[in-house]
Each structure stands twice: as structure tokens, then as C-alpha cells.
Structure 1
Amino acid sequence: MAFQASSSKRGDAPRFNLRGEADYRIAKSLTMISGVIRLRAFKADLSDPQAALLEIADRIDAVGALHNLLIESMTGGVQLSSYLQQVCRNSAQALAPQPTEFIVDCRPEHLVPFRVALPLGLLTAELISNSLKHASSANEPCRVTMVCSRPRPDLLRFSYQDDGPGFPDDFDMMRDGKVGMRLIQSLCERMHGDGIWANTAGGLRFDMTVPMS
């Protein structure tokens, strides 16, 4: 009996640890999504409550997609290509008033840890929301391009660009930045990332580098 009890405990330990890790990740996800929703609530556009609720649902979907990928993962890492494509699909279904073209250039072998995947997914959803509001027109679909690269094993480079008009010439980030841009900056800082906005000939661009170590 003593041997059987010892064997049972050893068999149960991995399941307990995995369950505890899953609970921890879910708690972190809920805390982060709650913070995003609270920040948006202070600056919500009450003239269009349906759009506000759809944006909240889109952020929750982004977290749900992440956990589905984690369940399927054998290593605990998240395949960035699959995750970003899912975030694009969810955002298009929830927010796009017309067809939107998404291009995700990210190698399947690019894996990121949960601590990076969660804020990066929410940041991407915010970027897409910003593009659909300001870059798209009633006659032409919006085009969004995302590129991921690993210039070094310990560094992730993420680039996002839409084909909209970009910032006005007199745009000042501190003065004119909306709540979405502030959320993007906050999520970038959470990843210890370095984010840069720029107007280009092709549209508005956001580049970010994130340490993996």
C-alpha cells in the first residue's frame, strides 16, 4: 500500500502542476483583459455602444484564441503565425464593416512565451481596430500587413502597417493620441518592448522589438 500511494502521488504531481499553471495563466489573462476594458470604459464613445461592446468581445476572443493554442502546444510556447492569423480573423468578424485584407508574414517556427503572446495579441487587436476606424474607406477595403522576424534568438521584431493616410502633419502623440494608442504603448511597455510609430509612403507603420530572454 505504501508503494502504491507513493506511485499515485508521483503520477498526480504533473497533472497538479499543469493545472496550476493553467489557472495562473487564466488569472493573468483575466486581469489584463479587465485592465484593458477599464481603461477603455473611461474613454468610451457612448454614441456607439454597439461598437464599444464589439471591441470588448474582440479582446476577449484574442485571449481565448491564445489559450486554445496553449492547450494544443507541447512546449508551452505559442506559434506566433497561427495566433496572429486568429486575432486577424476575430477582429475582421467583429469590427470590419467591409472586406479587409490581412497579410501575416511570420515563420511557423517562431514561438513566443505566454508572457509575450498575451500582450502582443491584445496590442495587435488594438492596432487592427485603429486601422479599421481610420485607414479604411467606404469604397475600398483596408489592407494590413504584419511581419515578424528574429534577428537574434533573444529578440523578436514585430512590424505592423496599414495602407491608410497615416497621422496628420501636426499630429502630436501626447496631445492627440487616443485611448487605443495609449493601450498599445502600455502593452508594449509590459513586454519591455521598444515601439516606434511612423508615417510611410504606404501608410501608418508601427515597429516594435521585444526581448525574449
Structure 2
Amino acid sequence: GIIMFTQVITERKLAEERIRRSLREKEALLKEIHHRVKNNLQIVSTLLDLQSDYTQDRQALEMFQESRSRVKSMAFIHERLYRSQDLARVNFAEYFRQLADDLYRAYKMSSDEIVLDVEVDVPPLPIDIAIPCGLLLNELISNCLKHAFKDTNEGRIRVALYRGDDDTIILTVADDGVGFPKDLDFRKTKSLGMQLVNTLVEQLHGEIELATNGGTAITVTFPDKLPTVTGVLP
């Protein structure tokens, strides 16, 4: 009886050790994947930067800059995941600081002149929400920096990301700049940035609202968990 009991305990310990070893191997593999994705995205960003040196056209240069910012916003997500203990969720407070610093540098803006107020009060977000949410932040803040303060060197941008009611997350990006053009339908504009914003909101199964009262405020509300897609590929 004692020998049998000892054998069962030994087998259980061996099984637990195999499980722990398997988890460590999977974590190492996942870290390596995030690291490689981040590096590949940085290569794409560098290629766009190098390609932009071959044109003097202002519109083309802006397109290259916007594309670089979009690629970097995704690369930052994978960098945060690679450095994190949690390989599936992103600490958005840390991520946002990195994204905002990069955008201010890209648009040659000073945070002393265009003040950025940030309120992030959400738990770490899963990657399927973090990537479209990061791209949304990139587009909305870029839009503020590009258009809201054309006639002034002073202003304020407010970003809030927090939990709403009924298991929702609310993202608001507001500025006190010139305001969104009143004759422009932001849901049907030809602007690539706003088209991308609307597409990302759909991807998040969210809703978007725009207010223009002393500036522009865009609010996006989306569920904190995306529906699971099931089915067999054709």
C-alpha cells in the first residue's frame, strides 16, 4: 500500500513538472513571436522612412509619416507584450505614454505648448482589443495634432479610457482646437484616417459619437470582450 501510494505521488509530481515545463516552453515561444513581430514591424517602419527620402512631395511625405505611425502603434503593442509577464494583455497606461511620445516627435509638437491630459483607468486589455484600440488612439491623436491647432501654438488634448456600464469600455479623445468642419460627415468622409477610425470601431463592435462644442470630442464605446468567432474555414 505504501509503495503504491508513493508511486502515485511520484507520477503526479512528474506529470505536474511536465505541465510546468510545457507552459514555460509555450511562454518562451510566445515571447519570441511577439519579439519577431515587433522587429518585423520596425523593419517596415524603417523601409517607409527610407522610401520617404526619395520624394519631396508634401502630400506623399505626409502619407509616409501616417503609415509609419500606424505601423509603430502596432509594434508598440507587441513590444509591451514581449516585456510583460502577461503575454496576452496590454497595460494601456504604459503603452499610451510610448505612443503619445512618438506622435509628438513625429509631428514636431511640444507637450509644453499642446498639453496632453491622460486618464487611463482600465485593466490590461486582451490583444484582440488592444491592437484596434491602439490604432484608434493613433488616428484620433494624429488628427488632433495635424488639424486642431493650425492657427495657434497652444492648446489641450484630453484622452480618457475607462470602464463604462454594462461591461463596456469608453474611449474619448477631445481637443479645444478649431473644431471639426460642420459640413463634413465623419462617417462618409474621404479621409483615410477617418475611414480607418470607422472601420476600427466596427471591428470592436462599438459605437462612435462626435461632438463639436469648443473644439472636437470623439467618443467610442465598445464591449470589453469581443464575441468569439466560430466556424470552419471553407
The size of the alignment, in residue pairs, is 196
Alignment check: 8 A CA contact 1:101 1:143 kept: yes
Where do 5+ consecutive residues of structure 2 fail to align?
A: 1-10, 45-56, 226-234
Of 114, 119, 124 in structure 1, the residue corresponding to residue 132 of structure 2 is: 119
| Equivalent in the alignment of 2:146 | 133
| Equivalent in the alignment of 2:119 | 105
Q: Distance in 1 between matches of 2:34 and 2:152?
A: 45
Q: Which of structures 1 and 2 has the bigger CA Rg?
A: 2
Alignment check: 8 A CA contact 1:80 1:111 kept: yes
Alignment check: 8 A CA contact 1:81 1:106 kept: yes
Of 191, 195, 207 in structure 1, the residue corresponding to residue 219 of structure 2 is: 207
Alignment check: 8 A CA contact 1:132 1:142 kept: no
Q: Secondary structure, in 3 states, of the residue corresponding to 1:143?
A: strand
1:48 CA drift (Å): 2.8
1:209/1:25 Cα in 2 relative to 1: closer, same or farther (>3 Å)? farther
Corresponding letter in the other structure for 1:189: E
Of 20, 23, 29 in structure 2, the residue corresponding to residue 14 of structure 1 is: 23
1:21 CA drift (Å): 4.2
Per-residue CA shift, 1:127-168, capped at 9, x if unaligned?
112112210125323421111221247211111101122222
| Equivalent in the alignment of 1:87 | 99
Where do 5+ consecutive residues of structure 1 fail to align?
A: 35-45
Alignment check: 8 A CA contact 2:34 2:79 kept: no
Q: Secondary structure, in 3 states, of the residue corresponding to 2:212?
A: strand
Segments of 4+ moved more than 6 angstroms: 5-8, 24-27
Alignment check: 8 A CA contact 1:92 1:100 kept: no
Tell me the TM-score normalized by structure 1.
0.76
1:52 CA drift (Å): 2.0
| Equivalent in the alignment of 1:55 | 66
1:181 CA drift (Å): 0.4
Q: Distance in 2 between matches of 1:101 and 1:90?
A: 15
Per-residue CA shift, 1:7-52, capped at 9, x if unaligned?
986455224433554538976xx89xx9xxxxxxxxxxx5432222
Per-residue CA shift, 1:77-123, capped at 9, x if unaligned?
2112221222111111112355532111113x532111111111111
RMSD: 3.2
The one of the two structures with greater contact order (alpha-carbon pairs below 8 A, sep at least 6) is 1
Q: Secondary structure, in 3 states, of the residue corresponding to 2:164?
A: strand
Matched, 1:66 2:80: no
Percent identity over paired residues: 25
Q: Distance in 1 between matches of 2:36 and 2:223?
A: 23
